[in-house]
Amino acid sequence: MDPSAFFTGTAVHLVAGKGGVGRTTLTAALGIAAARVGLEVLLVEIEGRGGLAAGFGHRALGYEETVLAERIRGRSLRAEDCLVEYLGGHGLGLLTRPMVDSGLVEVITRGTPGIKDILLLGKIRQLEQARCADVILVDTPASGHALSFLRSPQGLLDAIDNGPVNDQAVAALHLLQDAARCQVLLVTTPEETPVSETIETAYRLEDEIGLHLGPVLVNGVLARTPHRDTDTGHSNPDDPDPDDPDAEGRWVRELGIDRDLAHAVQQAAVFGRRRRDAQRRQVLRLTEQLPLPRLEVAHRPDGIDDLGALAEELLGGLRAW
Amino acid sequence: MVNERSGRAALAELVTSRSVLVCVGSGGVGKTSMAAALALEAARRGRRTIVVTIDPARRLADALGLERLGGEPLPITELIAASSGLRSGSSPTGSLHALMLDAKATFDDLVTRHATDRAQAERILANRFYHSISTTLSGTQEYMAAEKLGELHTSGRFDLIVVDTPPTRQALDFLDAPGQLARFLDHPAYRLMTGSGSAVSRVAGAAGKRLLRAAARLVGSVALDDAVEFFRAFEGLEAGFLTRALAVRDLLVSAQTGFVVVTSARPEPIAEAGYFLDRLAAQDIPVDAIVANRMTPRFTRLTAAELRRIAAAQDAGGDQVLRTGLAELIELTAAAEAEERALAPLHTGRAIPFQQGPFQQGPFQQVPFQQVPFQQVPLLDHDVHDLGGLEQLRQSAFDD
Ligand SMILES: Nc1ncnc2c1ncn2[C@@H]1O[C@H](COP(=O)(O)OP(=O)(O)O)[C@@H](O)[C@H]1O
Ligand SMILES: Nc1ncnc2c1ncn2[C@@H]1O[C@H](COP(=O)(O)OP(=O)(O)O)[C@@H](O)[C@H]1O
Ligand SMILES: [Mg+2]
Ligand SMILES: [Mg+2]
């Protein structure tokens, strides 16, 4: 697939997943990937801790846009800012100050369920409508929270049956349900719990909200060892056999390898093989239970120091897809 | 100060002597797994223990190998006994329960229990505004966590409550619950809605009405009516909520409660750990232990560089199996070395420079890390998703 077509196929990409799976990292890497194929990118962080900006060497994002790199801008959305802006734009401008000062704004955003989410989604929709970028990538809250976040328009429609907030909820729902405008990219690691959560979240997003799901990003996949076909899940006959107590001795006797080193090699081989096998089983389970395309991102044993390399890997994955 | 022994000893002291242990840290580091492992150890040492997760995710059930967990304490002593010899430990009195906070059920229960009469309870439970705040309102989760914690503590059923928190900075919001509740109840807008506070609100009457009308235009009059009705129906219950929240806060800041910061050996989670240390220090709460989880095991004393030289010297036609194994050993050793570097600030107590990791959030480390007992827990060769795996995690943390 042409990466550019992937990115422009929908305006808004909501990147979601369990905490710690690499959502923020991949949101940033996707942004770089899109910029590299010539697209204008807006990265959006929600009620953020500033993680997105730091990947570009910036401290924290504010409500106003910040230029993070060539063709990449970022901003952080907070519900309070969205509300003040919204009031100003809806003929309540004069009352904005007293409403803020009296604390009514705070009580409303804190006390009216889902209104925060609606304000945030409303802002995202406005950014989309204003065509402020070719691609809008949103680092959404961690998965349990993502569900309630994305479900809020539906919830508010039930609770609030008129007024501008109702209009907002309707509009937000239209955005969420339109595959040409919005899709969710679920991020997971190839581990038991994240995979289970991803499968459950995927079905619920589709069933309960009618969201369109893009490819699942499987992050932190251990590189294949040479001489080993990890894809089939079958061990290569060349693999060190964890039950073969002989290999170690053979290396010492026949190859003159230091005894401690031979032992370490054997232990490392068994350890690595178990972790890889466990990962493969989870990827298989994901494939069987969730019929969505996958994009795999390799584990970086030394940590992430180059988002550009991740971006290239994603682009490669998209082209091969 | 920083050594394994002090870490192990500190963890052992915590599970044997405290009444509450709270695990905090960023996502994916193993908070939930560690909370379960700490609880398991306490039970083995003879304490009546419960592990409580306030994360709406299913992870705790998964780590314990359970299909599901609910808002009521689920006894799992027997299950554990079968897989880890709980009963054959030093004391036969230990037990383990698990619970996943059900914020809505907890709230309903509180309303039912503390309402002056059935009618008041029913009015509240039927209110749409109440229904929404009790199910979806962010913040409700934290209040109810505090309520549940207080309830479990005062019930006297448990010697130790281990609390697993969600992977967000709001994880510690329940420390602020009483303050926020007090501020909220004292809020002019709240008094505006309930019509309480008499004199002041009567003076502010006209302006207040205008504001309420504006709010109604925003959220719709029906919703505002629901909200006002809810607050009126709720009147009289606030005091109890506040008293209980304050009691829980006192418990959390007291020496009965221990805080364990869990991290992995990467710059970002370590920076996050710094945030939690600062946040707790701001409330005069000391952190009792830092656990660096998922440490890549070291199989050799050789460095990755030395191993690479050895690998290069192996002749190309040599033993295929050996070469594969060496490649694996090199990768693991390099990862362990990167983790050592990431952990350096814990040992030196120095602030982590901003540029160190791509997602670094700036230097938070005002609290000297090196004074906090520190324990490493190795990355296991499997995920923690059943009792066998959990037992292995427990052993790595507690047994020499
Ligand atoms: N492919 C990868 N290889 C190695 N480390 C990774 C990878 N992806 C993410 N990480 C690291 O994992 C941690 C969590 O990533 P982050 O993007 O902050 O997760 P989330 O936003 O989902 O909580 C960070 O320390 C990050 O550098
Ligand atoms: N020491 C360990 N070795 C291997 N895997 C671990 C270890 N500790 C935790 N895990 C795994 O790491 C993942 C995250 O653990 P979890 O306890 O859910 O973290 P958190 O609650 O901080 O998000 C899970 O898949 C779990 O199985
Ligand atoms: Mg993140
Ligand atoms: Mg957890």
pLDDT tens digits, B36-67: 999 999 999 999 999 999 877 778 998 898 88
Residue % of chain B over a pLDDT of 90: 40
Report the pLDDT value the prediction gives residue A228, as an integer from 0 to 100: 45
Does A193 sit within 8 Å of B63, measured CB to CB? yes
Neighbours of ion ligand 3 (CB under 5 A): A 23-24, 51
The pTM score is: 0.86
Read off the pLDDT band of B4 (50, 70, 90).
low
* B129 Cα–ligand 2 center, Å: 37
pLDDT band at residue A236 using 50, 70 and 90 as cut-offs: low
What pLDDT does residue B130 have? 84
pLDDT of residue A95 exceeding 50, the answer is: yes
Provide the pLDDT confidence category of residue B273 given band limits of 50, 70 and 90.
confident
What is the model's pLDDT at position A232? 46
Best of A304, A305, A307 for a ligand 1 pocket test (most atoms within 8 Å of beta carbon): A304
pLDDT of residue B203: 41
What lines the ligand 1 site, CB under 6 Å? A 17, 19-25, 51, 219-220, 297, 299-300, 303-304; B 27, 266, 268-269, 359
- Given a contact cutoff of 8 angstroms between Cβ atoms, the answer to whether B387 and B31 are in contact is no
Q: What is the mean pLDDT of chain A?
A: 86
Cβ-based contacts under 8 A for chains A and B = 251
Give yes or no for residue A34 having a pLDDT over 90: yes
CA distance A128 to chain B (A): 23
Lowest mean pLDDT of A109-118, A212-221, A248-257, B314-323, name the range: A109-118
For residue B385, report the distance from its CA to the centre of ligand 2, in Å: 9
Contacts of B269 in chain A (CB under 8 A): 20
Binned at pLDDT 50, 70 and 90, residue A287 comes out as very high
More confident residue, B284 or A201: A201
Cα nearest neighbour of B327 on chain A: A225
Ordered strands of the A294-298 beta sheet: A66-69, A72-77, A41-46, A135-139, A12-16, A182-188, A216-221, A294-298
Nearest to A285 by CA among A189, A142, A213: A189
Whether residue B355 is predicted with pLDDT greater than 50 in this model: the reply is no
- Averaged pLDDT, B135-158: 85
Q: Please write the tens of the pLDDT for every residue from B235-257.
A: 888 888 888 888 998 999 999 99
Q: Which atom of ligand 1 is the closest one to the Cα of B268?
A: 25
In chain B, what are the domain boundaries? 5-297+368-398, 304-359
**Phi-psi label, residue B97: left if phi above 0, alpha if psi -120 to 50, beta otherwise:** beta
User: What would the pLDDT profile of A129-177 be if each residue is shown by its tens digit?
Assistant: 999 999 999 999 765 667 878 888 887 777 677 777 788 889 999 999 9
CA distances from B289 to B118, B149, B339, B347, B374 (A): 46, 21, 19, 14, 6
Does residue B200 register a pLDDT over 70?
no
Q: Is the pLDDT of residue B364 over 80?
A: no
Cα three-residue angle B299-B301-B304, rounded to 5 degrees: 85
Q: Which residues of B touch A270 (CB under 8 A)?
A: 381
pLDDT the model gives residue B197: 47
Q: Does the structure show a pLDDT above 60 at B370?
A: yes
Q: What is the pLDDT of residue B276?
A: 85
- Judged against a pLDDT cut of 70, whether residue B284 lies above it is answered with yes
Fold of B5-297+368-398: Rossmann fold (3.40.50)
Q: Are A84 and A134 in contact (CB under 8 A)?
A: no
Could you please report the per-residue DSSP string of A236-302? Answer: PTTSPPTT-THHHHHHHHHH---HHHHHHHHHHHHHHHHHHHHHHHHHHHHHHH--S-EEEEE--TT
For A159, the closest of B59, B128, B300 (CB atoms) is: B128
Min distance A236 CA to chain B CA atoms (Å): 10
d(CA A117, CA A78) in angstroms, rounded, equals: 10
Which of A218-227, B104-113, B271-280 is predicted least confidently? A218-227
Q: What percent of chain B has pLDDT over 70?
A: 78
| pLDDT at residue B271 in the model | 82
Q: Which ligand minimizes its atom distance to the CA of B263?
A: 2
